[in-house]
Amino acid sequence: MLPLYLVGATGTGKSSIALSIAKNIGGEIVNADAFQIYKGIEIVTASPGSVALGQIKHHLYGALELQEDCNAARYSEMAHGQIEDISDRGKTPIIVGGSGLYIKSLTHGLSNLPPANHELRGELNKISHKELISRLEKCDPVGASQINLKNRRYVTRALEISILADRPMSEIKNEWEKHHPKFNGISLHRPKQELYDRINLRVEQMVKDGLIDENRSLPENISDTAKKAIGIQETRLHLEGKTSLEECIDSIQQSSRNYAKRQITWFKREKGFQNVCLEKKDDPNSAIEKIAGLIIPPHNE
């Protein structure tokens, strides 16, 4: 069965809409959120609840322990196995999420970038930030103009790739991004203020549902990937007495809105997705009416 990709910014309502679609077309849902893949942070990541999980099969939610790291390569391997299994059973895989790189690893495959080289990385770490930028601008001026040069990690990785591949990192990236495979994809959008209001309300509901207690019970040694989930660091500051509850909520809301902006920017650049604009009045059923005509029937492969 041809998979369906349902993507969009946090707060657009992807999970509930995916559930309705799955019921209508005989599908199963595969997670494409970098943080909902972790077990133990269901509230902070707004993962589907027990009711939704009981109605339709969901895959790769709570699949990893918090101590485990994850990246696009590992996710891609896990997701491909689930997608193939669902298709083999005659169901439609519905890939749902907002983690752009994870989704692109499935639609386009992984970019052919050389893996990290610890010896070279050690040498680069000894160089000043200013010198790193200078060297990157010499070997890959295009790439240097496309990344945040204030972020040393980005600069180091771009320079590392250019050195190991013996060609500019931007050339490799451009070749990958020019590849436009056909796939069945829907990108959900909402008016900016409505989206922000939905995000703010959701964070308030997360706190009512036990977000603070969930964070209080987290182990100290969670992975670098897992600790990036919005709401973990903000709540830890509150638990340490450094911020009030109100400040904690405001911080999570702001971080979530900023993340939504980055997701919107990412998916605007992506080709192959059909855009669907939702309004405040749209519930999952009315959203499906807007989407239905855009979904390629399962037998058309």
In the chain, domain spans: 4-108+182-292, 118-177
Class of domain 118-177: mainly alpha
Identify the burial level of 39 via C-beta atoms within 10 angstroms of its C-beta, where 0-12 means exposed, 13-18 middle and 19 or more buried.
middle
Measure the CA–CA gap between 207 and 175, rounded to whole angstroms. Answer: 44
Tens-place pLDDT, residues 197-213: 999 999 999 999 999 99
**E strand or H helix that includes residue 227:** none
Identify the burial level of 217 via C-beta atoms within 10 angstroms of its C-beta, where 0-12 means exposed, 13-18 middle and 19 or more buried.
exposed
**pLDDT value of position 290:** 86
With residues binned 3-state (H G I as helix, E B as strand, rest as coil), the percentages for the chain, rounded to 5, are 55, 10, 35
Provide CB contacts within 8 A for 220, sequence distance 6+: none
Evaluate if residue 177 carries a pLDDT over 70: no
Measure the CA–CA gap between 277 and 291, rounded to whole angstroms. Answer: 10
Do residues 255 and 10 lie in contact, with contact meaning Cβ atoms separated by under 8 Å? no
- Whole-prediction pTM: 0.82
Provide CB contacts within 8 A for 173, sequence distance 6+: 111, 113, 143
The CATH topology of domain 4-108+182-292 is Rossmann fold (3.40.50)
Q: For strand 92-97 and strand 273-277, is the pairing parallel, antiparallel, or unpaired?
A: unpaired
Tens-place pLDDT, residues 277-293: 998 888 788 888 888 77
| Averaged pLDDT for residues 253-276 | 94
- Picking from 129, 173, 175, 179, the residue whose alpha carbon sits closest to that of residue 155 is 129
If you write DSSP's letter for every residue of 108-136 in order, what string do you get?
T----PPPP-HHHHHHHHTS-HHHHHHHH
Evaluate if residue 298 carries a pLDDT over 60: no
Which two structure tokens, joined as six digits, stand for 245? Answer: 């509850």
**pLDDT value of position 301:** 41
The share of the chain scoring above pLDDT 70, in percent, equals: 96
Mean pLDDT over each residue of the chain, to the nearest integer: 92
- Picking from 174, 184, 193, 233, the residue whose alpha carbon sits closest to that of residue 41 is 233
Measure the CA–CA gap between 29 and 18, rounded to whole angstroms. Answer: 7
- Picking from 12, 13, 14, the residue whose alpha carbon sits closest to that of residue 4 is 14
**pLDDT value of position 296:** 59
